[in-house]
Structure formats: C-alpha cells, structure tokens
Chains A and B, each alone.
Chain A
Amino acid sequence: MRNLCAAVIVALFHIGIPLTAFAQDVTLTSRDGTVQVSGHLLGFDGTFYRIDSIYGELTLDGSGVICNGPGCPDLESYVAEFSIAGSRTIGETLMPALIEAFAADKGYAISRKARSDTEFTYVLAENGKDVARVGFRVTSSDEGFADLLANEADISLSMREIRMEETALGKDAGLGNLGAPGRSRVLALDGIVPIVSPLNPVKNISLENIMRIFAGQISNWSELGGVDAPMVLHAREAKSGLQQAFEDVVLGAEKLTLTAGVTRHKSNVSTADAVSRDPFAIGITSFSEIGNARAVRMPGTCGFVVEPSVLSLKTEDYPLTTPMLLYTPARRLPQAAREFLSYLRTPPAQLVIRRAGFVDQAPALIPLDAQGARLANAISASGDEVPVDELRSMVERLRGLSRLTSTFRFKVGSSDLDAQSRSNVEQLARLIEAGFYDGKSIVFVGFSDGDGAAATNKRLARARARVVRDAVLLSAPTADRDRLTVRIEAFGEALPMACDDTPWGRQVNRRVEVWVD
C-alpha cells in the first residue's frame, strides 16, 4: 500500500518494542488436533491470536489452540502492546498527558523511552513487572490513518474526519467500516485559529479576509489598514489534519486553494513561535497552541465577532471548531488498550484534558442572563421576517432555562450530524440514562440561518430539533422516560449566532441547542 512499513519497523526497533511477535509464522492447532491454521501472527492480546492466514485475517481464542512456530508469543511473560500514531496536535502533549494520568490512576509505574520528540514508548509496570508497552509515532493525521491501514498502529489520532478513500482502504484491509460511529470518538475539542504577532498593529481581520490572504488575493498589510509590508504566511505541512480542515472549511467555501510561498511547519508550536516573532507574519494554528502569538479577532459585517474560547468551542459557535478524533479498527485490542480507551471518557480524564490546556467535552450551562449580547443582536436583527413579538414569545419560553453547551450541527449540505455533534448525542444520552436530568425538562431548540422565508426556516428548524431529539433518545434506551420531560421548540432564524452573509456564519446558525431547567 505504501512503503512506510520498513521505516516504521526501524523506528519501533529503535524505541525498544520487540518485534518478535509481529509478522512471524505461526501454526495454531486446535486442542484435539483436528483443525490447523497457519499464517503470519498479526497480534496477540494475552487471550486472542490474530493471524493473517490464507482465509484472511482471523482472530482465534488462545485457550482453544496450541501455538507452534517462531512467531509464537511467550505466554508467561506476555506484555500488552499497542501503538498510537497520527496527529501531532493530539499526540505531542495531550495523549502523553493522558497516558501518564491513566497510569497514575491505575497505580502503574510509568516510564517514557524517548528516541525523539515524535517517536517514544511508554512502559507501564506493576510491582516491577511490565504490564503494557504503548508505542507512539507522532506525525500527522494523514500518516496516522496510513499507519492504521497498514496495521502499524492500533489507534490513530486525527484533526479531521476520515476520508471516503481511507474508509474504502480500511474495509479492504479488514479494519471494518472506520467511518461507522463505533470506530471513532471525539477525545477533546480544538479550533483552527488565525494568529498574528503581538507586535502587529492589525487586530481585526474578517474570516473572509483570512480566506483571501491564504488564497493569495490579499498580500500586503496596507490592504487591511496596516503598514506597507508584504504579509509573511505560515501554515502547517500538507499532511496536517488541521491544515486540511482549514483549507476545506475556509478556502473550500469559495473553492479557493492555498497560495504558493507559505512557510510550512511540522507542528503548531513551530508555527506559533515563528509568527509571534515576526510583526508581518500571519499563520494558522490550533486554539490549544496559540503560544506567544495573538489570535486574530474576526468581526463579521453584522456585528458578531468570531472568537475562539472554551465556550465557543464547546458550543461549536466558533465556525472553525475541530474535534480531536481517535480512530480504532474493528478488532479486539489488548485489555490495557481497552482500559485506556474507557478511561478517556471518565471525568478524571476530562480534568487532565483541561489541565493540559485543551478543551474537554464536559457540558457546561449558560444561563439566559449571560446571553445578553445574543439577545441584543436578535433585537437589532428583528424586523419584517422576525417581528419583535416573536422574540418576546421566544424569551418567554426559554425563561428559567439554561443553554447546555452541547449543541448539534449538521455536515454542510447534509442531514448527518458532524463528529462533535455525534459525540454530544452520546454524552447527553449517557447523562440522561444516568438519571442526571430526572425530574427536569430538556428542550431541543431548533434554529436556522436567515436564507429564505422565515416560515420555511422555522419548519426546517423544527425538523432538525426532532432529528436530534430522536437520535439522543435512541442512544439512551435504558432512560426512564417517566422521570423526564422532553420538549421541542423551533425559533427559525430568530436568534442568530453569526452573520448570515458568509457560508461559515450560516453553518453556525443552522443548529439545535439544548436548554434545561
């Protein structure tokens, strides 16, 4: 598929993962001797053998077979091994912090064997005996998927959703449908953030102008009211998921492409450091790594300012929100890997995510009182389409409720929820099943953009709210519906979050919010 395999093996060898258990011939024989399968051993998780045989990839229960051949694992000294590959934004700081915290939580001693910043292995031990070895290859979202498809990684990290080509390759490689809901999860939230140096006098640049700058249509600071100096552009390398998401969402809105002459960086830290030192620089980084640079303030024409913050990422009201994604193949991972994956969903893991400077997914409440600016904007936008009476009735119906940060949005031009929203469905469903909202009201409130007739928009908004309500309740089959009041409201274009004159603004406005009492 790609010629990365050899490089990876060399890398793994250097960082100390013994490869004896990989790509070796084994013969598995049933205990009564009647069935025999030979092939390359792909993995052993302490219980199950996974081999590449003439019948394809097979998983066999170790208790039922006897292993013969040079590739057989030593059953006595079995140490769980799994590897994590992909996005530097996720793998450089956040994932190591989570592995270390997981080890502390389980009472394991932990050591890190580092070959470089991007190749390292964590060894978890208990009572002086190794229990798990976790290999890291921190590269890019692209290479993470490639490693997953080439069976070189068990977990891949990505700042973008998997592409259709990759999903197809995954099916061919026997990894199952990587695009299916169970194969990916949102680890934390991040955002694409345009940055400038603190020394740069230009503070405001609209998202449209950001697009024009990176498409090469604006190239001198004087065009934006700054000094007469050419702009110096910085971005991540082409394999970066963050970079691809930026090009898809921002440049893709008008089918533009990235201009030539952009300085490419291997990490967001490198981008942020380069931009912070150069008053004429502008760059694209992540919310988690603004570093010593300054996030550009992005005002819209209608008065809304697009600003990344913990809350605007959680609500996805920031149009460039990008979930940090984790993909796993449809195969049994070692128990230590499964324990780690379930740890990632726990409240202590959310705390680690926050402390490491990232945005976790724990829902927060925003009371109506704290939404004054939003209401003021709604009032100034009111008129023929949305009469003030309509606003009054909306405020009446939301009075006493608070907005939950969990907000639901759909993929562009589609009725499918986006990745962050799918994760929100699961989170909300779990809270409902746990009885967190027993005796309370949950209101799914549909909104739309301002394109088209208000009445049509209201109908669309109601339809979206219904879709989200059904998805949440379907994911919470054990919820006690008698203890819960669920309602649907729809206010159409009445309460915009962003200006409707850009594709990003309209995308932000098409949403289903959740309000609770």
Chain B
Amino acid sequence: MAIYRKVGMAGATFVVAAAAGFVMQNGGALAERFGSGKSAVPAEPPVLAAAVPEGPKFAPPQIEEANVILSQAKDAAISARSTLPLKTGKEAALGVPQQPDRPNSYRVAALGDAPVLNAPELNGDQPTAQRQAQTDCSIALSVVPEAGAMVRLYLDAPCNRDQRVTIQQGALAYTAQTDGDGLLEQAIPALTTEPSFYAYFADKAGAKATAKVPDAADYERVALSWQGDAGLQLHAREFGADYGEAGHVWAQAPRTPSAAIRMQGGYLVSLGDADTLEPRQVEIYTFPREGVQKSGAVRISVEAEITAANCGRDVQGMSIQTGPNDRPTATQLTLAVPECDAVGDFLVLNSLLRDLKVARN
C-alpha cells in the first residue's frame, strides 16, 4: 500500500493525460460525411438519463428522427473506415487483432438517425462561421463493432470544430473534444449487445447511432462516471493482486483489450477529456465471463486522492454494473469527499461497486 501511495501521488497529474490519450484518435481522414436530410434542432436540452434501471429502458435524450438513408450511411461507415489510414501502429499498441474483412461484422444496423443542424441557428461566435455558410452542417455519427466487444465511434461535425461534445451510451456520458476539422474517433466498450450512442454539442445539436455487438454478452463490464475534476479512479485487483502488482488494473496500468480477448484478465478504458468545460469522465473495466483459467475474486474499488479541489465536497457520478437478468443497471452516486484536513490521503470505497466472483469453467 505504501508503494502504491507513492506511485499514486507521483503519477496523479498524469492520470488525465493517460486517460485522454488512450482512445483519442484525431485522424483527419474522415472527410466523408453521411446523412443529408434535414431536421429541426431538438427543442429541449438533452436530459441525461438519471438513473436508468436497465438496458432497453435507457432513455437517450429525445431527438427528432432525421431522414437518413440507412444503406448510404452504412456504406459510408464502411468506406469511411476503409479510407482511414491504417491504424496498425495504434492497434498493435493496443494489442487489438485487426478485424478480418467481414462485412457482416460491420452491420451498423439502424445507423445514425442523424439530425441536421440548421446553420443559421448556430451561435455567431463559432470560429467556423465561414465554413458554415459554405458547407452542410450535418452531424454524422457512426459506430463500428470491433474485437473484444469494443465499438469505434466516428463523429463528423464540420461546423463544430474544436468543440466540447458529450458522448452518451445508455446512462453513461462523458465529454470529449472534436479536432480542428470537427472530427472525433474513439474506441468505446459496448455495455450491451445493442448499444446506442448519442453525441451532442453545447447547442444541443447531435446525432445518434446504434450498433449490434453480440459478443458484449461475453464480457462483464463495470463502469464509473463522474462530473468535474474529482479525479475518481476505478481499480480492479484480480485474484489477490495487491496494489502495484501485475493483477492491479487501473488508469495507470490499464492493459489492452487483448488481455480480455485472450482470456488472460481484464482491462480498463478511460474516456473523457478533463480539459473540457464541466467535464464528465468515465472508466470502464472489462473482464471476460468465460475462459479465464482462474477462480476467485476481482476486487473492485473506487478511489480518489483527496485534494484541495475536491475536499469537503460532494462528487456526482454514476455506476453501471450487471444487475439481475444480466442487464447493466445504473445507480446514481453522490460521494462525500472527506474534509480538507485529509488532503493528501486517499478516499477508498471498497463496497461501492460489487467485486466480481469468478468461477473457472
């Protein structure tokens, strides 16, 4: 524990950078945009589903259906992917096997009900005003299944360059930033076999996409999200591993999806950009349900360094764990961070999330 504390404190400032760097992939090749229909901007601000009991009941914010030609969108998703510069470097680093070229695995069913923003309704202070006048400001979102029940999310919002965007999957939301071309690409663990994703900007313009990820049923997922700069950390200690040992999986030792694909153990994905305004961040731990040749417990804890910024305050967040009937169940959280005389200590909550009990099969 003493060693871990030193590591934890020395590395604390890098957590955010590591988290953001893990999945941000600001490729500039996603020039193709898809979806050309028009729709109104949703009248109501998107309401984050507060505490949504289970998968199908997840209530993504209501947005009006747009005229999207599905086949076109699907083709675009595939061609968009195929025209991307090969991610061999990145994916090799991640250890993700290249997807074999199986069109079926790209079934982006019911892809992108992509509402399109009416350009004049954009705020005048956007730096891309000139481009807005010339281009179609439609926002396109597609999600493509990948190995290990991950999905790759592609967002193309030509009129929303360098902007804060909220990505929502079910009850889980985090904030990210588009690049200078209004593009965003991220790899996200799917929480259900038919996850639906919603990306929206501060002005409520957004797009929706769903995917079919049947192998999501093969993985146990535990997710934690939080608002602000609370600096929460999700820790998994597999089969008796102590802090800092090989079986301790967290943001600074996240492993890659290949660990789970090869049934060796779990991995952690951090999502969300702490530098955005009112940031929301997410950490998702994934463990394969079958095939790990060990039995015992994976201890799941939520921890935070008590800092001058979070001491004595309540942190708002959300947890998602598999509930009865194998569905992800969301619980809203309010964590009371200890008073400021405890700055430098760690808040450790061992029972907030249930440990995983693994039986060898």
Give A residues with C-beta under 8 Å from B. Answer: 14-16, 92-93, 96-97, 100-101, 103-104, 107, 109-118, 125, 138, 269, 272-273, 276-277, 291-292, 348, 351-352, 355-357
Contacts and interface: CB of A to CB of B under 8 A. Distances in A.
B119 interface: no
Nearest to B357: A357
Contact of A109 (B51, B349, B350): B51
A100 B325 CA distance: 13
Contacts of A93: 351, 354-355
Interface stretch (B29-37, B67-75, B331-339): B331-339
A117 B296 contact: no
Interface string B21-60: 0000000000000000000000000000011111000000
* 8 closest A-B pairs by CB: A111-B332, A104-B53, A109-B51, A292-B240, A292-B296, A113-B334, A117-B351, A291-B297
Interface in B282-326: 296-297, 299, 314, 319, 322-325
Q: Most chain-A Cβ atoms within 10 A of its Cβ — which of B54, B242, B349?
A: B349
B239 interface: yes
B352 interface: yes
A373 B180 CA distance: 73
Contacts of A351: 324-325
B332 A109 contact: yes
B331 A277 contact: no
Contact of A112 (B242, B322, B332, B350): B332
B350 A269 contact: yes
A422 to B, nearest CB: 27
A276 B355 CA distance: 16
A112 B296 contact: no
A86 to B, nearest CB: 15
A277 B322 CA distance: 29
A115 B333 contact: no
B329 interface: yes
A112 B349 CA distance: 13
Given A100-B323, A100-B329, A351-B324, A110 B51 contact: yes
Nearest to B327: A104
Contacts of B357: 357
Contacts of B323: 100-101, 104, 352, 355
Nearest to B314: A113
B336 A114 contact: yes
B297 A356 contact: no
B55 to A, nearest CB: 11
Contacts of B355: 93, 269, 291
Given A112-B333, A117-B351, 12 more contacts: A93-B355, A100-B331, A101-B324, A103-B51, A112-B319, A113-B314, A113-B336, A273-B240, A273-B299, A276-B240, A292-B296, A355-B324
Given A15-B336, A112-B331, A114-B333, A356 B354 contact: yes
Contact of B329 (A104, A107, A125, A348): A104
A357 to B, nearest CB: 5
Given A107-B53, A273-B240, A352-B324, A114 B335 contact: yes
B350 A117 contact: yes
Nearest to B54: A104
A113 B334 CA distance: 4
Nearest to B238: A292
Contacts of A348: 324
Given A273-B240, A348-B324, A14 B336 contact: yes
A114 to B, nearest CB: 5
Contacts of B354: 93, 97, 356
Interface residues of B, number: 31
Contacts of B297: 272, 291-292
B138 to A, nearest CB: 34
- Residue with the highest number of chain A CB atoms closer than 10 Å, among B50, B297, B322, B335: B297
Nearest to A88: B351
A110 B349 contact: no
A114 B332 contact: no
B157 to A, nearest CB: 31
Interface in B233-268: 239-240, 242
A256 to B, nearest CB: 31
Contacts of A14: 336
B51 A92 contact: no
A357 B54 CA distance: 20
Contacts of A277: 240, 242
A112 B240 contact: no
A117 B352 contact: yes
B287 to A, nearest CB: 15
**Which residue, of A110, A114, A269, A356, has the highest number of chain B Cβ atoms within 10 A?**
A114
25 contacts: A16-B334, A101-B329, A103-B51, A103-B53, A104-B324, A104-B329, A110-B331, A111-B332, A111-B333, A112-B319, A112-B352, A113-B336, A114-B336, A116-B349, A118-B351, A269-B350, A272-B297, A276-B296, A277-B242, A291-B297, A292-B239, A351-B325, A355-B323, A355-B324, A357-B357
Nearest to A275: B240
Contacts of B296: 276, 291-292
Contacts of B336: 14-15, 113-115
Nearest to A93: B354
Given A97-B354, A110-B331, A112-B332, A117 B349 contact: yes
Nearest to B335: A114
A104 to B, nearest CB: 4
A115 B352 CA distance: 10
Contacts of B322: 355
Nearest to B50: A109
Contact of B349 (A104, A114, A276): A114
Contacts of B335: 114
B161 to A, nearest CB: 36
B332 A110 contact: yes
B240 A114 contact: no
Contacts of B351: 92-93, 96, 117-118, 138
Nearest to B316: A111
A377 to B, nearest CB: 28
Contacts of B240: 273, 276-277, 291-292
A89 to B, nearest CB: 12
A111 B314 CA distance: 13
Nearest to A97: B354
B223 to A, nearest CB: 15
Contacts of B242: 277
A193 to B, nearest CB: 14
B334 A112 contact: yes
Nearest to A116: B349
B350 to A, nearest CB: 6
Interface centre among A14, A92, A111, A273 (most CB of B within 10 A): A111
Nearest to A355: B324
Contacts of B331: 100, 110-112
A58 to B, nearest CB: 36
Contact of B334 (A97, A114, A273): A114
Contacts of B54: 104
B139 to A, nearest CB: 29
A57 to B, nearest CB: 33
